[in-house]
Structure 1
Amino acid sequence: MTTESDITPSAADRHHPMLKLALELGPLLIFFFANLRGAWLVERFPVLLELGGPLFVATALFMAATVISLIVSKVMLGHLPIMPFVSGIVVVIFGSLSIYLQNETFIKMKPTIVNALFGVSLLGGLAFGKSLLGYVFNAAFQLDSEGWRKLTVRWGIFFLFLAVLNEVIWRNFSDDFWVAFKVWGTMPITIIFTMAQMPLIMKHTVTPAGEAEK
């Protein structure tokens, strides 16, 4: 079972919460606006035409922004967050395949693969007595073992839901709608889900030993 000491946040995590948010959200915003203004970008930078259509240009910039965000995270925070790191690997692999094969399917399936991987990992971790979610949300709050277990189950199921939702969206709607939903749809849904977990979090929050002594 995950212990409190296993999930103690680093000083950098506690002091740079907005930086963490910017590094995770930034590449998505670049992906959205690059797809939206793909024609303008190609006109200004003709070399981008070699990549293909707007979605491929956006994918290339998304890959570059993701790698840069991971480098900045390593330099500024001193470590690579688990979820952005795994997601970044999938972005680079599937993005490269999409551009090389000129097949949009690979980049469209990236959210499905990542969310399914997270969902299965979280639920599978519980089978081995590990609440892996503690390593992801360590900078945000500290919970007792029961709280981490319940929250991990909920997030595991939520990630699987996002995987299914992405499949429904990209297979039944336009590219522009899928890109917009990826940024402006998935994020609000995730925020609403996160806020809905606050009663559980508050119920199972524990005070770190160091702070309790103060």
Structure 2
Amino acid sequence: MKQPKPWVKPVLELGPVVLFFVIFMLFREDSVHVLGRDYSGFVFATLVFIPVLVISTLIMWRLTGKLAPMQIATLVLVLVFGGLSVWLDDPRFFKMKPTMIYLLFAGLLGYSLIAGRNWLGAVLGEALPLTETGWLKLTRRMAAMFLALAVANELIWRLMSETSWVWFKTFGLPVLLFLFLMANAGLYRDHALEKPDGDKPQDGK
């Protein structure tokens, strides 16, 4: 299947989040009347975000012929928790959604360590070829990171303003994930698999 242009994937992944942020900032002080009901700016932004995410995910699947497990899990949880927020007009469910996602990923990675399965390598192996030891270390670190993000999300939405949480969700979480990836540059280098014509990988680092 033909690969989409490099800019298409970031637009499809980030577009719905940016749209949510823009709509929230425009209507955060208002009550929006939709189909006979009045919604807060936050819930209205959630109402718009859900179908946009569904459409962008379907476009991604159509273009690439596959979806990553993280994309599928995110879509399902958005439908569940976002749908509850809209149905009950209660923003708390949507704010808890990142917590559920990160706990899910932390749990799956933790179980893979206990079961001796390299699930992270199965998902990212083509893009990031590492030795067995490298995958073990990265799995531990990512499990800890997801736990930390779940705790951070809970603290921020419960203790800070709604606007603060939206800024954190839109910009803070991506920055933290990027910093995590950069902080592990040494691991990628030390445990990278050698090219086929090179020496065998040193797996004991």
Q: Partners of 2:119 and 2:7 in 1: how far apart?
A: 23
Aligned to 2:69: 82
Instruction: Name the aligned partner's letter for residue 35 of structure 1.
Output: F
Q: Equivalent of 1:47, from 34, 37, 44?
A: 34
**1:27 aligns to 2:16 (yes or no):** yes
Aligned to 1:70: 57
More helix by share: 1
Q: Equivalent of 1:106, from 93, 108, 112?
A: 93
Map Cα deviations across residues 48-75 of structure 1 (whole Å, 9 max, x no partner): 7736111111111221121112101111
Is the 2:81–2:94 contact (alpha carbons within 8 Å) kept by the matching residues of 1?
yes
Q: Equivalent of 1:121, from 95, 99, 108?
A: 108
Instruction: Name the aligned partner's letter for residue 29 of structure 1.
Output: V
Cα RMSD after superposing both structures? 2.5
Map Cα deviations across residues 69-88 of structure 1 (whole Å, 9 max, x no partner): 21011111110111111011
Question: SS at 1:52's partner residue?
Answer: strand
**1:201 aligns to 2:193 (yes or no):** no
Query: 1:140 offset after TM fit, Å?
Result: 2.9
C-alpha spacing 1:122/1:20, structure 2 compared with 1 (3 Å): farther
Q: Partners of 1:194 and 1:11 in 2: how far apart?
A: 28
Is the 2:29–2:41 contact (alpha carbons within 8 Å) kept by the matching residues of 1?
no
Report runs of 4+ in structure 1 exceeding 6 Å deviation: 39-43
* Aligned-pair identity (%): 35
Query: 1:128 offset after TM fit, Å?
Result: 1.3
Q: Partners of 2:36 and 2:19 in 1: how far apart?
A: 18
Highest RCO, 1 vs 2 (Cα 8 Å, sep ≥ 6)? 1
**TM-score normalised by L of structure 1:** 0.83
Aligned to 1:137: 124
Instruction: Name the aligned partner's letter for residue 189 of structure 1.
Output: L
Q: Equivalent of 2:144, from 144, 154, 157?
A: 157
Unaligned 5+ runs, structure 2:
199-205
Q: Partners of 1:183 and 1:197 in 2: how far apart?
A: 23
Is the 2:13–2:56 contact (alpha carbons within 8 Å) kept by the matching residues of 1?
yes
Aligned to 2:203: none
Aligned length: 198
**TM-score normalised by L of structure 2:** 0.86
Is the 2:28–2:42 contact (alpha carbons within 8 Å) kept by the matching residues of 1?
no
Query: 1:39 offset after TM fit, Å?
Result: 6.3
Aligned to 1:192: 179
Is the 1:116–1:159 contact (alpha carbons within 8 Å) kept by the matching residues of 2?
yes
C-alpha spacing 1:58/1:135, structure 2 compared with 1 (3 Å): farther
Query: 1:38 offset after TM fit, Å?
Result: 2.2
Instruction: Name the aligned partner's letter for residue 160 of structure 2.
Output: F
